[in-house]
Structure 1
Amino acid sequence: MEDNVMDKILIEAIRVAKLAGLKIKEIRENDGYDEYLKKGYELVTTADLISDKIIKTEISKVFPKHKFISEESDIENSLIIKEPTWIIDPIDGTVGYANNHYQVAISIAYAIDNIVEVGVVHNPFLDETFYAVRGKGAFLNNHKIQIKSANTLKQCVIGTGFPHNKENVDYIVETLRLVLPKIRDIRRLGSPALDICWVACGRLQGFYEEKLSPWDVAAAKLIASEAKATVGHYSLENSSILPNCLNGYKVIVSSPGVFEELKAILISVI
C-alpha cells in the first residue's frame, strides 16, 4: 500500500515539474517575465511566481490536504515536518534563468515525519529529470544512476556555489584558494539542486556550499543518497532545528572515497 502511495506521489511530482518546466521555457522564449530583487540582493522573476502557482495548484488538485514549503512563500508553515508536505523551488538557478543559461531546475520533494520520501529535480532546458523514491535508487530519465567512484580529490571535479549576499566574500575566496589546488577542476552551475544531482550521476565527484535553503537540497539530497553518494556537513549550527534532510548549512555531497578529504579542507577554513 505504501509503495503504491509513493509511486503515485512520484508520478505527480514528475508530471507537475514538467508542466511548470514547459511554462517557464515558454515565458523565457517570449521574454515574458519581469525581474526584481528580494531582500535587496536576491533576484526573483515573475516566472518564479508563475511556476510556484502551477506546482501548488496542480498538487493540491490531487492531494488537497497536503502542505507546502516554498522559496516563494511569504510565510513558511514550519520547517519541522510531521504532516505530508511538499518542499518546492519553482526555479532553482534564477540568475541563470534570467541570463539564458541552460542549468536551471525545478525542484520538488515530498516529506512526512521529517523524512524526504520522494525527490524530483527537472531541467526543462535540457529535458533531464532526476528522481528518487527513498530506498529504490536514483534515476535520470528512467535510467538508474550512481556516483563515479574516486579515491583522491586529485581525480575529482568539484562543484560549489556562491551566496546572493556577498558580505562573506573573503571566506568564499579563502575556501576556493584551499580547495582548488587539491582537485582536478571546479564547476559552478548556479543551481545547487543540479550540482548535487550531477554528483549523483557522476558528472561531478563532489559538491560543497556554505549555506543553502531547504528547497535547494530537499529533493537533490535524496537523489544523491540513493545514488550512493555520501551526504553530510562540514559544520552544523548548534541552534539549527532543521531535520537533516532539509539542512543545507555547510553541506557536502560527494563520492564516498573523497568525503573525508574534502571535509578536512573545508573545516580548516572555519
Structure 2
Amino acid sequence: MAGVGVDEAMLNDLKNTAEQVAVEAAHLVRTAWVRMQSGGEVAVDTKSGETDVVTAVDRESEELVRARLKRIRPGEPVLGEEGGGAGNDAAGGVTWVVDPIDGTVNFLYGLPTFAVSIAAQVDGVSVAGAVVEPVSGRRWTAVRGGGSWLDGTRLSVSAADRLELALVGMGFAYGQDRRVRQGKLTADLIGRVRDIRRRGAASLDLCAVAAGWLDGYFEHGLHRWDWAAGALVAQEAGATVLLPGEAADLGEDATFAASPGIAAELRAALSAGGAAEV
C-alpha cells in the first residue's frame, strides 16, 4: 500500500486526520448554511471577477482547518484556496491542500451541493484525503494504493463501456469568454453521450465518478485544491484520471476522470471537439 515513500500506517493516519478536520470544518459550514436558510446573512466578497465569490464562511472554515492541522500535524505546510501558502513543497514532506468550501456559489444560493476538501500530498502527489459534505454528512475518503470509501463502504467506478450511454459531468470557468468556448465544447459532446450534468463542485463530481454516479467528468481551469482529494478518491475507485499538465490533447489545465471502459473514447471525443483550444 505504500505510495510516494509513505508507509501504510502513515497513510491511514493522514487519511484519518483529513477526515477528522474536514468533519469539524463541515460542521461550521453547515451551521452557517442553516442560519442562512432562516434569513441570516453572510459577508460576501469577490476574487477574479463578480461571478467568482468568497464568503466569510469560506475564510472561517479555512482558518479552522489551519488551526487544527497546526495542532495535530505541527510544522507541515498548508496550501489553501483562501489563505494561499506552500508555494514550494518540501521534498518528501507532507503538504496539506485545502478547499474550505468547494461549491461556494451553491452554498450562497442555498443549494446543498458543496463540500470541504482536504488532501495530504507528498511531492505534489495526493496520498490521502477526505471530502465531506456539510448538508448530507457524507464522507468520501481515500488513501493511495489502499482504495476509497463513502461512509466506510468501498467504492468502485461504473462498468460503462459505451460512450453514447455515458453520463458525464462538466464544469465551467468564471470568465465569460472561456465559458462560451466551454459551452461550444459541451454542445459538441452532448450528442455523443447519454447526458451531461453540471453540479458546481469539482470535488463532488470526482467523487461521483468514484461511486459510479457519473461515468466521466471533465473540466478546465481547476486549481490544486479543487482536485487534490477528489481525484484521489476517483483514482482509488478505479477511474482513469488525468490531472492538469498530463493531457496536452485536452488542454494544459484539464482535469479528466472516467470509468476505464469509456475513458479512451471520451478523451478522443473531447479532443476532437477542440478541448485543447478551450
Q: TM-score of the superposition, structure 2-length normalised?
A: 0.89
| Correspondence for 2:268 | 264
- Aligned residue in 1 for 2:27: 22
What letter is aligned with 1:7?
N
Letter in 2 for 1:54: L
List runs of 5+ in structure 1 lacking aligned partners: 239-246
Aligned-pair Cα RMSD in Å? 2.0
Cα offset for 1:5? 2.1
CA distance in 1, matches of 2:100, 2:245: 28
Hey, which of these two has a bigger chunk of strand by percent? 1
Q: Following the alignment from structure 2 to structure 1, what is the Cα–Cα distance between the partners of residues 14 and 86?
A: 21
- For residue 14 of structure 2, what is the aligned residue in structure 1? 9
The structural deviation recorded for 1:32 is 4.8
Judge conservation of contact 2:133–2:139 (CA < 8 Å) in 1.
Answer: yes
Distance 1:154 1:235, change over 3 A: farther
1:137 aligns to 2:147 (yes or no)? yes
How far has the Cα of 1:123 moved from its partner?
0.7
Correspondence for 2:65 among 52, 55, 69: 55
TM-score by length of 1: 0.91
Compared CA separation, residues 233 and 171, structure 1 to 2 (3 A):
farther
Kept after mapping to 2: 8 A contact 1:160/1:188: yes
* Alignment-mate amino acid for residue 115 of structure 2: A
Structure 1 Cα separation of the partners of residues 252 and 222 of structure 2: 4
1:128 is aligned to 2:163:
no
In the alignment, the residues of structure 1 paired with residue 210 and residue 204 of structure 2 have an alpha-carbon distance, to the nearest angstrom, of: 9
Structure 1 segments (4+ residues) deviating >3 Å: 233-238
Taking the aligned partners of 2:123 and 2:146, their CA distance within structure 1 comes to 19
Against the structure 1 CA distance between its residues 54 and 215, is the aligned structure 2 distance closer, same or farther, given a 3 Å change threshold? same
CA offset digits 1:42-73 (Å, max 9, x no partner): 11000000000011100110111100111102
Alignment of 1:172 onto 2:172: no
CA positional deviation for 1:112: 1.4
1:76 CA displacement = 3.3
Partner residue, 1:244: none
Map of 1:39 onto structure 2 = 48
Partner of 2:254: 250
Number of matched pairs: 261
CA–CA distance in 2 between the matches of 1:205 and 1:248? 22
Question: For 1:81 and 1:66, how far apart are their aligned partners in 2?
Answer: 9
Task: Name which of 90, 99, 106 aligns with 1:89.
Answer: 99
Change in Cα spacing, 1:165 to 1:65, as seen in structure 2 (3 Å) is same
Does residue 212 of structure 2 align to residue 202 of structure 1? yes
Q: Measure, in 2, the Cα distance between the counterparts of 1:81 and 1:218.
A: 17
**Offset, 1:176:** 0.8
CA distance in 2, matches of 1:15, 1:202: 25
